[in-house]
Amino acid sequence: MVSAKRGFYVGLFTLALPIMAQSFINSLVNMVDTVMIGRLGTVEIAAVGLGNQIYFLLNMIFFGITSGGAVFTAQFWGKKDLAGIKRATGFCLALVVSIGLLFTLVCFIFPRWVIRLYSIDPAVIASGAQYLRTVSLSFIPFGISFVFVIILRSVERIRLSLYSTLISLSLNVVLNYLFIFGAGPIPALGVTGAALATLTSRFVELCIVLTVSYAKKYPPAGTLKEFFSFTTTFAARFSLIAVPVIVNELLWGLGITLQSVIFARTNTDSIAAFNITNTISNLTWVFYIGLANGASVMIGKKIGEGDHDTARNYASRIVRFAPLTAPAVIAVLFLLRPLVPSFFNISPQALAYLNSMFIFLALAYPFRAFNISMIIGVGRAGGDTRFTVLYDLFFMWFFALPAAALAAFIFAAPVWLIYLLVMSEEMIKVVPGMLRLRSGKWLHDVTGEG
């Protein structure tokens, strides 16, 4: 028992630590971006934050598609079915490129209209549109890289995604400084410079991921014939599992976007505080992203091998372990809080809003830790994607968002109460998650074998 327990945690952290490192680098660079933009002022923080909401929404759609693909590839990996991995990769690529093209066209042609959906501040709309038009050109390369990174994780090839992220985002930091503030012959471009830096780094990341994947002949690196060898039966089975995940991530992303709309339409100080809170929170949240994704690979692989008892054991372990780590992660979160006045040029009112948000964010962390472990680590690994849609979205859309909107727009409630209502869904939805885990109904072999 002791050796089995130790084996679980060794395997978990072997997979999770590179994912944590990659996510941390990503979040740290996002924070540095926000700090650099923050030196320009509150309007610029709000503008880039709202422009990045489109990136966030697209990221959620891509994550939905590739998470659906990863359900298959992890189980195919357990069966050592390399042809199946390439089919799943090809199907994901076809979907991601199509959706990326649609988002690029809309955001490049109508950027002001898109930003106007979030804010009524003319200065924010003008600045946000400049950022969005340029950054939209990075959507397709970002999507292709995203597919390879997630599929590589599911087949236990994690280091490439870590190294490519480290290189591309380090480049992004350097280019941000040069393009935002100017240096030598390079003019100061402000928010447009931030977008150019993102565009360049995304293309670099794509080149690294594809070059190394094909040079080392990693499982997802297939030919066009292998990518598009899927049959209608495979497409239907893939869709049955992946479409709920796509819907889940799309509606969850829209929900997060509506949270930004609520704060943006409350006042500019509140959306600035909300953006900074999320940016700093993401630095600590990477721990749970790593745990959930690492557990998902382990559980999916065991299901593919036909070892369902061990898969259930792993599921129980991860949902117990993750919330127990919350106090340590919260401590790190609060160690970061005093740095805000040094790095962000925000008003005293925005800082007061941020302080109250931090308190309620910390209270929600143990519940959020359980939920992400159950949704990504357990539910999706087990192909239980239809249940996870309801589990993840019901309380967001039918309680938290309506309550926050009513509090903000009808009752003119204080910002701290609006944020508390936004966070409330995390506490409530733990109950159905625990019931589903105990029922054992989350486990499915989606590959059609066994």
The full DSSP string for 265-306 is: HH-HHHHHHHHHHHHHHHHHHHHHHHHHHHHHHHHHHHHHHT
Give the residue among 166, 140, 172, 159 at the shortest CA–CA distance from 212: 159
pLDDT, position 450: 37
Query: Hey, how many other C-beta atoms are within 10 angstroms of the C-beta on 123?
Result: 15
Output the six-digit token pair for 286.
């990477």
Q: Would you say residue 339 lies in a domain? A: yes
Domain count, the chain: 1
Q: Does residue 167 form part of some domain?
A: yes
What does the block give as tokens for 201?
């780094």
- The answer to whether residue 68 is domain-embedded is yes
Token readout for 21 is 């490192």
Distance from C-alpha of 328 to C-alpha of 330, rounded to nearest angstrom: 5
User: Which of 15, 31, 339, 350 has the alpha carbon at shortest distance from 161?
Assistant: 15
Nearest by Cα to 9 from 351, 235, 322, 331: 322
450 domain residue, yes or no: no
Residue 448 lies in a domain: no
pLDDT at 144: 94
Q: Which residue has the tokens 């397709």?
A: 140
Burial of 5 (0-12, 13-18, 19+ CB in 10 A): exposed
CB 194 within 8 A of CB 173: no
Give me the amino acid identity at 128.
G
Give the C-alpha distances (Å, rounded to integers) separating 90 from 177, 228, 405: 37, 6, 40
CA nearest neighbour of 52 among 347, 282, 375, 349: 282
Residue 176's pLDDT is: 86
- Residues 50, 131: contact at Cβ < 8 Å? no
Q: How far apart are CA 227 and CA 304, in angstroms?
A: 21
pLDDT value for 3: 62
Does the residue 254 lie in any domain? yes
Helix (H, G, I), strand (E, B) or coil at 230: coil
Measured in degrees and rounded to the nearest 5, phi and psi for residue 215 equal -65, -40
Domain that holds residue 253: 2-439
E strand intervals along 215-288: none
| 357 occurs within a structural domain | yes
d(CA 29, CA 427): 30
Per-residue pLDDT of the chain (450 residues; tens, 9 = 90+): 556 677 788 989 988 888 888 777 766 666 677 677 777 777 777 888 777 778 777 887 888 788 888 888 888 888 888 888 898 899 999 999 999 999 999 999 999 998 888 778 888 888 888 889 998 999 999 999 989 988 998 888 878 888 888 898 889 889 988 988 888 788 888 888 888 998 998 899 999 999 999 999 998 998 888 888 878 888 888 888 878 888 887 888 788 888 988 998 888 889 888 988 887 888 788 889 889 988 998 998 899 888 999 999 999 999 999 999 999 989 988 888 887 777 777 788 988 999 999 999 999 999 999 999 999 999 988 989 889 999 999 999 999 999 999 999 999 899 999 999 999 999 999 999 999 999 999 998 887 643
Which amino acid belongs to residue 97? V
| Contact (Cβ atoms closer than 8 angstroms) between residue 377 and residue 319 | yes
In a domain, 445, yes or no: no
Q: What is the pTM of this model?
A: 0.76
